[in-house]
Every structure is written in structure tokens, then in C-alpha cells.
Structure 1
Amino acid sequence: MKPFIIFMLMLAPYAITHAQHRETIHLWPDAVPGETTARHAAVPTSDTSRGVVRLTDVTDPILEVYPANPAHAKNVGVIICPGGGYNILAINLEGYEIAQWLNQLGYTAFVLQYRVPKKEAGALQDAQRAMRIVRSRAKEWKLDPEKIGMMGFSAGGSLTARTATQYNVKAYMPVDKADSLSARPAFGMLIYPAYLDRGEGRTLTPELHIDKQTPPMFLFATADDTYGNSALVMAGALRDAGVPAELHFYAKGGHGYGLRPGNSAAEVWPTLAAKWLEHAGTR
């Protein structure tokens, strides 16, 4: 088989899900803070194991908009942060497929391509900017600007937690009117989150500043996940601060399963999250 055909087959799952979004929003109208390389589209890696499309070399962060069907749309929006260890983005497994699930529930979804690899500071800038842009344009999608939340998987769960606890941190210089708005998510959903227990003795990561103003959170993880302690530590800190939090901790499931069938954890968390989101989105 010719190399070009092989490459196109590798990209097939990416193309199918990618085609269904309605709009692409480039987060930064001019220079991207801290970037020294020219802007270009994210690069799919050659690793497509488990049918996962992995993007890297993100220099032009974007939001891809998935509006809910107007017939049953709610006024709640969710920004999705795929995982990938801050090295890649599992863009279909933890991005597009999640957006389609949220659409089925009546929520407008926004898949965030934040900067990778190894650009954690840039990723926080992108997440704050994404929150402000969606809030500034909420009326276009018939959303309540006070009901824009964030959802993340693995490293994307880390980024969601960082955004929810550092929304007052000025991570970048304002670029337009949208930056006058709050970057605080209305709620956070952390699915098998990672890197939240980098404190001494596997305690809470020091950069996560939790207080009574931290938004409510839903957390799901499993005991056999290498990063499972992150959810436990985060849930304890939220409880201690008096922040509404719901933690589900199952025995098995591992890590990086998204919501695909065949994994016991993947088959249970969406129902639990949907029930929680129905109430969190109306607070």
C-alpha cells in the first residue's frame, strides 16, 4: 500500500469527527503569548494505536465549536480539554467524541486545542483565553455566560483544575475586550485527572489555590489508575474548603478510556456525570 494511502487511513477517524464541528475559533488574533515558531495546524503523530488520533506541535491554539441541536439545547456550555500528558492531545477520544456526547445531552461543546508539547504555562493561557472568548460570545450560541464550565481528561483534567483555581492569575496581557471578563469556569469536571498531587508526600499540587470561590466539581477515577491519587487529593481539598464536590472512585478501569464501550469505568462515568451536570449547570 502506498505511503500516502496509509497516511490518509490513519487520519480517517480524525476527519470523520472533525468534519461535524461548526466553527473554528483561533484564540489569539495576533501573536500567541510566548510562541516563537510560526503558526500552523496541529500535527497528527504516527501513533494511532487504539484508534486514538494524537495531535502535537500546537502553535495556533483553537476552539472547535459543537452547538447542541436547537430542538433540545440547554443554555449551558462546556469547554473540553483533552488529555495527553501535556505532550499530545488525544483529540478524538477525549475531545470530539466527548463533544458529541454532550451535544446529545443538549449542551454546546467547545473542544480546546491547547499548546503542546511541554507548554504548561501556555496551556493555562489558552484555557483562560478560551473561557473568556466563550463567555464574551455566549449569546451567539444562546448560552448563559454564567453557565460556561470546563471538562478535562488526564492532563486536561489538570488543566481544568488549574483554570478553576487560578482564574484570578493574570497569565497573559489582555488583547481585547473579552479579556475583561472572568476566566472562572462555572463548574469543573475532572475525569481520571492527573498531576494534582505533586505536593510533598503526594499532597495537593501547590499551584492549585482552593477556596470558597472555587467552582463546584465532579471527579471520577479508579483505584488501578496510576494517577488515581489526584482525584482523591483534589476532592479532599475541595471538601475542606467547603466547595461542592462529587467524587466517584471505582476499583477498575485504568486510564485513558474516554467513553468508549468495553471498559467498565467508561461505561459508568457518563451516566453519573450527566446526572451531576444537569444540576451543576443550573446553579
Structure 2
Amino acid sequence: MKQIVVLLMMLGVNTAITAQQRKIHLWPAAVPGETAAKQTAKVTADGSNNVTRLTDVTDPILEVFPAEASNSNGAGIIICPGGGYSILAINLEGYEIAAWLNKLGYTAFVLQYRVPKKEAGALQDAQRAIRLVRSMASEWKLEPGKIGMMGFSAGGSLTARASTQYNVHTYTPIDKADSLSARPAFSALIYPAYLDKGENRALTPELTLSSETPSMFLFATADDFYGNSALVMAGALRAAKVPVELHFYAKGGHGYGLRNGNPAGEAWPSLMEKWLKTVVK
């Protein structure tokens, strides 16, 4: 917690907000499908590029960053950091994104979903997170119908999966929250990965789209190894007549978050900010 406060102070976030930050354990008892004992996520030895990487997540949590009451717009966004489903780039694609969203008036929820290599568990965690936030919306003065999700890289994959499989029952309900919808009101995929695993790099088969799929914002670059994922997803959404906004830049690579010094990292936040105003009303 102390590290989080220091980080947010460096980012210029009001410490009165961080004082309200809290953790919500997604699963109060047993974690479905998890065989390892619950424990606090481990920070890896690799801190390169000023990125804090978490692994061995067996007790998934949401870290809550409420918007200031005077600035809140009544909407919440669950953030799914990336990391190849092996680690979570928790500051680059989690806390730093939460600080940015807070400034725009959104209450942010950073999701520590299960890693490494627990894709099925990660989807369970994402569905449970959406339902829990929706069930507790009044606590943060949010509207239950304005709970969205965004993700980066593998977190973009998870966001896409949650946005297209919200009617798939991935775990046995454990409380009243699980009677609520797991469908995000809107979704944003920033340099998403793993969405083109179909034949001839077509859409990944598990991503089944319909007219009820939430509106999406996508951002990627041509020099990103995973760049095709955004193109394929945008095309599939268009074919399904789902509102979609795609931005595809020439350069930027992968894994830049919103840090200065990268043209893509400097571009997508303002584009997404404008898009959010069209879907959050």
C-alpha cells in the first residue's frame, strides 16, 4: 500500500484519493478451479523499464481508486493489466491508468487476475469482478449500468473474452452478486493480443459476437507483433453491427502504457477520452 501511495504521489494524484483506496478479494472462500493456496501476489525480480511485474496470483483482488466526489461522473472502469497471462504489469497498465481515469472522473478498479497461465481462471475473475463492482456500485456512487472494462495486451484479450462470453457460466454462483450481469457496458482494448487465433489468423473462435456485444474502442500499431488482433476484432465487430472505433498508428510497438516518449502512448489517451464521452452519458 505504501508503494502505491508513493507511486500515485509521483503521478500527481491527490493523496486524499489514495487514502480511500481499498482491496476487495473476489472470492471470500475457495477460488474456483484454483489448487494453490491463497497468497499475496509476488513481485518478480524483473523491474526493467520501471515496470512492476506481479506473478503467482492465487487470491484475485480488485484495488479500488475512487474518483473525487466533485469530479465523479458516476461511471466505473475495471482495468486488466497485460503480461502474456504470465505476469501483470501492475503499475504500467494498472495504477498509472487508474490515476489517469480518476482525473477524468471515472472510478477505477485494477484487477489482479490469476497468473501464470490460468486463462480459464482469469475469465472467472473478470466475470466476478464486473458483478461485484455492479453489486457495490452505490458505495462509490456509481450507476450499475455504467461499469466498463479496459485491458492491455493479454488484459485486452481478457477484456475481449469478458465482453463476448458474459453469458457463459464459468463458475458456480456464490452470493447475490452473481445474479447480476457480467456484461461490461463498454470496453476498450489497448494493443490487445491473442484475438486472431482462428484459421488463417481469423478471429479467435471463443470470441462469439452478437448485436448485444458492448461498444468497443481499439488502439494498436502496425509495428506491433500483435497488431493484427485489433484489426481482426474491429472487422468482426463491424460485421456484427456492433459500434466500434479503431485507431491504428504506424509506430509505437507494444507495452507502452500511457507514458511519455512513445508516440502511441501519447496518442491513445486523448482519443479514448473523447470516445468515452460518447458511450458514457
TM range (shorter): over 0.9
Q: Report the residue type matching 2:154 in the other structure.
A: A
Gaps in structure 1 of 5+ consecutive residues: 1-10
Summarize the alignment of residues 193-204 of structure 1 with structure 2, pairs less than 5 Å apart. Answer: 193-204=192-203
Q: What's 1:240 paired with?
A: 239
**Which secondary structure does the structure 1 equivalent of 2:144 belong to?**
coil
CA-atom RMSD, angstroms? 1.4
- Taking the aligned partners of 2:36 and 2:169, their CA distance within structure 1 comes to 23
Q: What's 1:53 paired with?
A: 52
Summarize the alignment of residues 24-173 of structure 1 with structure 2, pairs less than 5 Å apart. Answer: 24-173=23-172
Gaps in structure 2 of 5+ consecutive residues: 9-14
Q: Report the residue type matching 1:175 in the other structure.
A: I
Measured after TM superposition, the shift of residue 35 of structure 1 is: 1.0
Q: Normalising by structure 2, what TM-score?
A: 0.95
- Taking the aligned partners of 2:7 and 2:170, their CA distance within structure 1 comes to 32
Q: Report the residue type matching 2:7 in the other structure.
A: T
Measured after TM superposition, the shift of residue 12 of structure 1 is: 8.6
- Taking the aligned partners of 1:12 and 1:53, their CA distance within structure 2 comes to 14
Q: Report the residue type matching 1:55 in the other structure.
A: L
Q: Normalising by structure 1, what TM-score?
A: 0.94
Aligned pair count reads 272
4+ aligned runs moved over 6 Å, structure 1: none
Measured after TM superposition, the shift of residue 16 of structure 1 is: 2.4
Q: What's 1:16 paired with?
A: 6
- Taking the aligned partners of 1:16 and 1:40, their CA distance within structure 2 comes to 23
Deviation string, structure 1 residues 9-43 (Cα, Å, up to 9, x no partner):
xx996562379361100000100011111111000
Measured after TM superposition, the shift of residue 101 of structure 1 is: 0.1
Return 32-41 or 11-20, whichever deviates more: 11-20
Shift in CA distance, 50/147, structure 1 to aligned 2, threshold 3 Å = same
Shift in CA distance, 15/47, structure 1 to aligned 2, threshold 3 Å = farther
% identical equivalent positions: 71
Deviation string, structure 1 residues 94-120 (Cα, Å, up to 9, x no partner):
000000000000000000000000000
**Which secondary structure does the structure 1 equivalent of 2:145 belong to?**
coil
**Which secondary structure does the structure 1 equivalent of 2:111 belong to?**
strand
